[in-house]
Amino acid sequence: MTDEHGLPIARACQVARLSRAAYYKPGMDWAARDGEVIAALQAIVVEEQRWGFWKCHDRLRAQGYAWNHKRIWRVYCQLRLNLPRRTKRRVPQRERQPLWVEPRMKRGLGHRLHARHAV
């Protein structure tokens, strides 16, 4: 924009919603910068495919890597490892049926009391 339209750098960055520091800073290849994190994460995922982020993070910490969770999460998402959670299968709704109880004569304590006193 600065060369084509003759705008000052500050105005061109404002229009493009870019900070001036980002204008001057050369672009970096994230795969080259995070190559070590990528290799470590992929090694864990090959072993344990269904592990979530925090288990992978804890395993990396146990292996001695000191990367913070934000960096690991960024790489984890860039590798598209953030799978949706599996939900529990629901049991199909069964048709309700009334309970059937075998009919019998109601007996209380009266039959026991009469048997004791009769003797």
Residues 6+ apart with CB under 8 A from 55: 48
Q: Residue 59 domain-assigned? A: yes
Same domain (yes/no): 54, 76: yes
Q: Please count the structural domains in the chain.
A: 2
pTM of structure: 0.54
Q: What sign does the CA torsion over 39, 63, 49, 80 have? A: negative
| Phi then psi dihedrals of residue 87, to 5 deg | -95, 155
* Residue-level pLDDT at 107: 66
Tell me what pLDDT residue 109 has: 64
* Domain span at 52: 34-84
Q: Please give the pLDDT value at position 35.
A: 92
Residues 14 and 46 in one domain: no
78 and 40 share one domain? yes
3 state DSSP class of 39? helix
pLDDT along the chain (119 residues), means of 10: 82 88 84 91 90 93 94 93 82 88 72 58
Amino acid (1-letter code) at residue 39: A
Instruction: Say what the pLDDT of residue 40 is.
Output: 95
Q: What is the pLDDT of residue 62?
A: 96
**Whether residues 24 and 43 fall in one domain:** no
